[in-house]
Amino acid sequence: MALIENIRVFVRVLELGSLSAAGRHMRLSPAVVSHRLQQLEAHLGVRLLNRTTRRVRPTEHGSAFYEACQDVLASLERAEATVADAGRLPRGILRITAPLGFGRQILAPILPDFRDEHPEVSVQLRLSDHVLDLVAEGMDVAIRLGTLADSSLIARRIADCPQVVCAAPDYLLRHGAPKEPADLLKHACLILRLPGARPVRWVLGSPEGPVTLAVSGPVDADFGEILTEFALRGHGIVLKPLWEVAEYLRDGRLVPVLPDFPPPPISVSVVYPHRRLVAAKTRAFADFILNRGGAAIGQAVEGVAVPAA
């Protein structure tokens, strides 16, 4: 078993590019990671890695061993999944990633129920508004918003949630309320901009069809809740899934903008890598969030009426 764990460490070091990154991911200290690599090299009798102060590179032996390890770990994963499925008992560490707003407002209230139902599953939750590479980051399952482009993933739709364009009353008092979608081009729009993403476009509905706008403004961020805070402080107009701003719409700190031109709903999906055998823990979580996620979203937006696209 120690050999398998040492192999897992070796693979993760190469995938993440450093001992410290692998240690953070596997919750091991750099010293432990280094010791496991030394054990593996001693067992094999060859040097697997060349280390610099910033990165590690595989030796010729290391590259060949890494390729072989992919098959070994995949076979082991299939074997573990088969045994778990045969016993119908999800178990092991389940690594979940989700957008921060969804994780805080939708997932956090119901995730303890998943653990109650599956006490043999340990949960590692990573919240980020960045779209993580599930395989490279070693994640089992993700919650994704919007259009899914990666065909290598299995995607199951949880729900479609309304979106809303909104601003603080103080901002609208000072700058005037937009009357039609094109007016947004003259306003301070608060932009969610992720590295490597396409140029930001807001899409609003109209009687003539969708209207696409290349909006801009004084603030863009890769962290959605920062934009909500700027909107609450009167710095501009923001486009948000309804669950992220429902509480502020209820108490009047934010108000809808352009209610006659609602944006289309955003699709919420659970995704996981496409494998011949999906681990019982992954399938259990996917079934859980499909059963509970839509209701949790509905509860989060209850009492807030916005026009549908």
User: At 110, which amino acid appears?
Assistant: I
CA 301/CA 27 separation, integer angstroms: 36
- β-sheet bridge partners, residue 56: 51
Q: Closest Cα partner for 84 from 271, 284, 272, 288? A: 284
- Rounded to whole angstroms, the maximal C-alpha distance in the chain is 73
% of the chain exceeding 90 in pLDDT: 46
pLDDT for residue 66: 85
The neighbour count for residue 88, using CB atoms within 10 Å, is 8
Q: What pTM was computed for the model?
A: 0.69
Record the tokens describing residue 245, joined without a space: 């701003």
Contact 131, 10 (CB under 8 A): no
| Rg of the Cα atoms in the chain | 23
pLDDT for residue 74: 72
As a whole number, mean pLDDT of residues 275-281 equals 74
Please list the alpha-helical segments (H only) found in the chain. 2-16, 19-26, 30-44, 60-87, 100-102, 108-117, 134-137, 169-175, 224-232, 242-251, 280-300
CA 255/CA 229 separation, integer angstroms: 14
Helices then strands, each counted (H, E), the chain: 11, 14
Contact 148, 271 (CB under 8 A): yes
Record the tokens describing residue 229, joined without a space: 């805070």
Domains annotated on the chain, with CATH? 2-82 (1.10.10.10), 89-159+271-300 (3.40.190.10), 163-264 (3.40.190.290)
The rounded mean pLDDT for the chain is 86
3-state helix, strand, coil in the chain (%, to 5): 45, 20, 35
Q: How confident is the model over 220-244, as pLDDT tens digits?
A: 898 889 999 999 999 999 999 999 9
Q: Closest Cα partner for 10 from 43, 31, 37? A: 37
Would you call 145 helix, strand, or coil by DSSP? strand
Q: How confident is the model over 9-67, as pLDDT tens digits?
A: 888 888 888 888 888 878 888 888 889 989 988 888 889 888 765 678 888 888 888 88
Record the tokens describing residue 208, joined without a space: 């003539």
Residues 6+ apart with CB under 8 A from 43: 3, 6
Q: How confident is the model over 142-186, as pLDDT tens digits?
A: 999 987 765 667 888 999 999 999 999 999 999 999 999 999 999
